Amino acid sequence: MRKYGLAIAVVLMALNDSLAQFGRRTPEQDSIFARLQRQTRADHQNMMAQLGIKALRPGVSGNPQDANAANRDENKVNSYTLPDPLVLKNGKKIKTPQDWWQKRRPEIVEDFEKEIYGRLPPHIPTVQWKVVSSKDTVIANLPIKEKILRGVVDNSSFPSIKVEIELLVATPRPTTKPVPIVLEFGFIQSPFGNTPPVMPIGLGSAGEPTWKEQLIARGWGYAIIVPSSIQADNGAGLTEGIIGLVNQGKPRKPEDWGALRAWSWGASRALDYFETDQDIDAKRVAIEGLSRYGKATVVAMAFEPRFSLAFIGSSGAGGVKILRRVFGEQVENLASSGEYHWFCGNFIKYAGPLTPSDLPVDAHELVALCAPRPVFISSGSPQVEGQWVDAKGMFLGGVYASPVYRLFGKKGLGTTQFPSLGTPLVEGDIAYRQHAGGHSTGPNWSTWIAWACRYWGECKYF
């Protein structure tokens, strides 16, 4: 099952880089895996007990042959009513950007923090960035400066938990002026061990230059932050990482932050570093990621105003896909023991006793929190990527966020008509493109770069 590919790679990666040969785990690695699963289930149970929940509705299956297969038929989509992003809880419609900032946006932020992604703790320890190595090298014959950094988190309050954020930064050489940079939630080492993967995650389609090459050729830089170095990608790890450090090794409370917010907090710390690096123009930093990292991308963009642009890859449910829409992955899947750690504990309630239509907000309002900054929503094709991510549900996340962009005099998505495969909707400040490839941002990079240079300048032909 293709949809499990990245998930398995990410889980293995979180365990240990060397575990990564599919199907070739040693008995010792198997026992680590089993232990993590046990701890994850126990933590999930602990949160359900805190919430007074006895049972949850099961998720749908990604396998079309299964009796409980996820809906993949547009004609069977439910009808639903979404909260209006421009209407205050008291029923009054807001009409000015000022009212958005002062009245409506804080209401939406509160709902997302309390019910879905969790709150940042009031006192998060500081991060000190250290350059581990710096070298002049090339990528596809293009000269770059490549730095490896570690963001060392102050753990004096609880020394048994150590957190060091891994970051790679590459900028074109020679640097004559600070350059824009794209920060990816990703991997510095291949999750596939030492074997070069046939089609690495996030790289271009066959024959195209990789995203790194395309950015460097444009005169821009790229950076990669490793989410698992901030917070593990499983429930077992919630008593460790930055979340565990702040909680002094104790389990979370229902409103505490989940992994998506922790990863995006780490991205903000990388931005702090960029502000000190003279090779980088910290006013032109984009954030990018795929799948669960696509979810982290929109969360980072929504909560961190210093990001200039976003490239949100196949974020699906928990990202920009409308959660109330019965198509592909559902809230019940996100609330299960395999994925609940991405969110705050409270979110589990919406898989029992509450339902997704009880959510006070939906994904279009997460996109709206990014306004008026430009966002690009990316998806693969139904044939190759599958229907789990719900390409149309992500498009609708952009459609229904558009009124907020229009409040700012921006264009938003500019249409409510779902485009045919490959059609770039790039005229507005919410852009959308469903490429013809699989679960990757790869085939959308050239479109993204052409769109980004409208904002960042330097659209020269090269």
Residues in contact with ligand GCU by CB under 6 A are: 3, 6-7, 291-292, 316-318, 329, 333, 388
* DSSP letter string, 263-306: HHHHHHHHHHHHTT-TTEEEEEEEEEEETHHHHHHHHHHHH-TT
Least distance to ligand GCU from the beta carbon of 51, Å?
Answer: 22
Whichever of 187 and 388 has its CB closer to ligand GCU, that residue is 388
Q: Rounded to whole angstroms, what are the CA distances from 194 to 13, 203, 431? A: 13, 17, 36
Whichever of 146 and 329 has its CB closer to ligand GCU, that residue is 329
Whichever of 228 and 291 has its CB closer to ligand GCU, that residue is 291
Whichever of 273 and 432 has its CB closer to ligand GCU, that residue is 432
Could you give phi then psi for residue 145, rounded to 5 degrees?
-105, 125
Whichever of 8 and 152 has its CB closer to ligand GCU, that residue is 8
On whether the CB atoms of residues 356 and 363 are closer than 8 A, the answer is no
Least distance to ligand GCU from the beta carbon of 143, Å?
Answer: 34
> 447: helix, coil or strand?
helix
Least distance to ligand GCU from the beta carbon of 313, Å?
Answer: 10
Least distance to ligand GCU from the beta carbon of 59, Å?
Answer: 8
CA–CA separation, 445 and 422 (whole Å) = 13
On whether the CB atoms of residues 223 and 286 are closer than 8 A, the answer is no
Least distance to ligand GCU from the beta carbon of 13, Å?
Answer: 11
Whichever of 153 and 335 has its CB closer to ligand GCU, that residue is 335
Least distance to ligand GCU from the beta carbon of 314, Å?
Answer: 7
> 149: helix, coil or strand?
strand
Least distance to ligand GCU from the beta carbon of 158, Å?
Answer: 29
Task: List, edge to edge, every strand of the sheet that includes 375-379.
Answer: 127-139, 142-153, 164-172, 221-225, 179-185, 280-290, 309-313, 375-379, 430-434
Least distance to ligand GCU from the beta carbon of 308, Å?
Answer: 24
On whether the CB atoms of residues 422 and 433 are closer than 8 A, the answer is yes
DSSP character for 17? Answer: G
Least distance to ligand GCU from the beta carbon of 319, Å?
Answer: 7
Whichever of 22 and 101 has its CB closer to ligand GCU, that residue is 22
To which residue do tokens 């809906």 refer?
Answer: 71
CA–CA separation, 196 and 412 (whole Å) = 40
Least distance to ligand GCU from the beta carbon of 6, Å?
Answer: 4
Question: How do beta strands 142-153 and 309-313 pair?
Answer: unpaired
Whichever of 318 and 374 has its CB closer to ligand GCU, that residue is 318
Least distance to ligand GCU from the beta carbon of 372, Å?
Answer: 27
> 425: helix, coil or strand?
strand
Which structure tokens are listed for 286?
């984009």
On whether the CB atoms of residues 428 and 405 are closer than 8 A, the answer is yes
Whichever of 284 and 341 has its CB closer to ligand GCU, that residue is 341
Which structure tokens are listed for 11?
């889980």
Could you give phi then psi for residue 241, rounded to 5 degrees?
65, -165
Least distance to ligand GCU from the beta carbon of 165, Å?
Answer: 20
Using CB atoms within 10 A of its CB, is residue 4 exposed (0-12), middle (13-18) or buried (19+)? Answer: exposed
Whichever of 63 and 126 has its CB closer to ligand GCU, that residue is 63
On whether the CB atoms of residues 341 and 237 are closer than 8 A, the answer is yes
Whichever of 171 and 234 has its CB closer to ligand GCU, that residue is 234
Whichever of 317 and 368 has its CB closer to ligand GCU, that residue is 317
CA–CA separation, 323 and 219 (whole Å) = 38
Angle subtended at Cα 228 by Cα 121 and Cα 127, rounded to the nearest 5 degrees: 50
